[in-house]
Amino acid sequence: MLENEDTKRLGKAGIEEAPVRGWDLHCHTRFSDGTKTPEEFIAEARELGLHGVAITDHDTWNGWDRAVQAARQYGMPLVRGTEITAHVDHTSVHMLAYLYNPDDKGLARMFADTRAARLARVQEMVKRISQDYPQITWEAVRAQVREGSQTTVGRPHIADALVAAGICSSRSQAFATIIATTSKYYIHVPSPTPVQVVQTVKRAGGAVVLAHAGDRSRNKYLLSDDRIIELIDAGLDGIEIWHRGNDPDQRVRLADFVQRYGLLATGGSDWHGAGKPNLLGENLTPDATVKLLCEGRFLSVA
Ligand code: AMP
Ligand code: FE
Ligand code: FE
Ligand code: ZN
């Protein structure tokens, strides 16, 4: 086992052994496509004995206040975060942003633009789907959106409407068929580039981590080495290594960037409540890494 400064950033065990204790830094609630409330999320994390959690709903911080209140009530350390949608080279890229200034104008504009684009895109997909499945109206999809205009809308809400109408058996089955990226109904979300996301989050005083970049089930083409180096040059803080979607060979590839460039290696479950098989706490980030991730940011751990 190597003991230099860089490998410490991967944790003592390297990537071979995923952390068994620590923080779950990737979790969704009803404020995007999760099925549980922030209160249920914090209560479940407490029951599991997690050291801490991050709330990371897509393109919003709308769930933060309720999560902070619940975190105080349950004595569960909480990192306020957001999973930001980006796109480059026909590749969909997700970036986890943590502890940034929520009043930052650049970020506010980015979220407003993406959320508006997401809404228009879901409505257009619904229009296409309803030509073949007339039950799938915008009303039917909106009925699946759990926190009204506070919720970031996406394909999962279409999936839930397809399940409610009895057309699909589960969200995952909908994602494998009618709303798959390869389906004729699919439209991608117009989004900023990953470099723009890194720059905007850094300006807002936050930390930014590249999420599940080694998941081949999400993209035909993964982010290239050059694109990853571009992000590191722009100020990327870390890479999510321990995520169920990252293929084993991709974990090695991503860990190599972590070591070579002295980044942080994180882990998270990508928990969506009942919306996905992922279990809360199934992937974790070591305490020491969380400490480095949180140091010197605009916000502190709540
Ligand atoms: P969208 O961002 O609207 O294209 O939708 C993709 C999102 O759906 C990703 O963030 C996934 O995490 C989420 N998702 C939720 N449930 C599922 C599921 N069962 N299978 C695949 N993706 C899912
Ligand atoms: Fe999601
Ligand atoms: Fe994601
Ligand atoms: Zn996620």
Atom of ligand 1 nearest to the CA of 270: 12
Give the pLDDT confidence of 253-266 residue by residue, as tens digits.
999 999 999 999 99
- Nearest ligand to the CA of 185 is 1
Alpha carbons 186 and 171: distance in angstroms, whole number: 15
Give the pLDDT confidence of 244-291 residue by residue, as tens digits.
999 999 999 999 999 999 999 999 999 999 999 999 999 999 999 999
Nearest CA to ligand 1 atom 6: 155
Q: How far is the CA of 132 from the centre of ligand 3 (A)?
A: 29
DSSP letter string over the chain? ---SHHHHTT-TTTTTS--SSSEE--B--TTTT-SS-HHHHHHHHHHHT-SEEEE--BT--TTHHHHHHHHHHHT--EEEEEEEEEEETTEEEEEEEES--TT-HHHHHHHHHHHHHHHHHHHHHHHHHHHH-TT--HHHHHTT-TTGGGSPP-HHHHHHHHHHTTS-SSHHHHHHTTTSTTSTT--PPP---HHHHHHHHHHTT-EEEE-STT-TTT-SSPPPHHHHHHHHHHT--EEEEE-TTS-HHHHHHHHHHHHHHT-EEEE---BBTBTSSPPTTSS-B-HHHHHHHHTT-SS---
Q: Which residues pair with 88 in a beta bridge?
A: 91
Q: What is the pLDDT of residue 16?
A: 77
Q: What is the pLDDT of residue 7?
A: 52
Using the predicted structure, report yes or no on whether residue 2 has a pLDDT greater than 50. no
Q: What is the pLDDT of residue 13?
A: 65
Q: What is the pLDDT of residue 1?
A: 34
Ligand 1 binding pocket, CB closer than 6 Å = 33, 154-156, 171-172, 175, 189, 272, 275-276
The pTM assigned to this predicted structure is 0.96
